[in-house]
Amino acid sequence: MASQSAVLVREMERLGRNIRSWRKISGLTAQITAERAGVSRDTLRAIETGRSTSSENLLAVMRAVGILAAVVDASDPIASDFGSRNLARASVERVRIPRSSKQIEEE
């Protein structure tokens, strides 16, 4: 099994490639995209190659290529089957680790 950091690196690289593809499909140059996002071309390059960057810069570039709303919508738990089935959990103020039966027996 791949380590968590290896999985994250792979997914960051995949996200970066997707953003680059969206930019090109949209007919945007790297310079125009960087300007619209308010980031440097080096920052845009870092995002498109999956290198670490601030979430603010990542979101700004997503907005510049026109995918921010779709990404935010995709993160809505209520839009998923799992989220809609478990909607009651969203109103819980604090999530607690369930106690095991062994812990209950010891009390």
Model pTM above 0.85: no
pLDDT at 107 (0 to 100)? 57
- Containing structural domain, residue 45: 4-75
Neighbours of 17 (CB within 10 A): 13
Task: Name the more confident of 57 and 94.
Answer: 57
Asked, for residue 68, whether it belongs to a domain, the answer is yes
User: Is residue 8 in some structural domain?
Assistant: yes
Residue at 100 is within a domain: no
Average of pLDDT values for 59-68?
Answer: 98
Query: How many structural domains does the chain have?
Result: 1
Q: What's the rounded mean pLDDT across residues 57-86?
A: 93
Residue 84 falls within a domain, yes or no?
Answer: no
Kindly state whether residue 40 falls inside one of the protein's structural domains: yes
In a domain, 26, yes or no: yes
Tell me the average pLDDT across 87-105: 71
Q: Is residue 64 part of a domain?
A: yes
**Average confidence (pLDDT) over 70-86:** 89
CATH number at residue 12: 1.10.260.40
Measure the CA–CA gap between 95 and 77, rounded to whole angstroms: 16
pLDDT tens for 8-61 read 999 999 999 999 999 999 999 999 999 999 999 999 999 999 998 899 999 999
Residue at 46 is within a domain: yes
**What residues contact residue 10 under an 8 Å CB cut-off, 6+ apart?**
2
Q: What is the pLDDT of residue 69?
A: 97
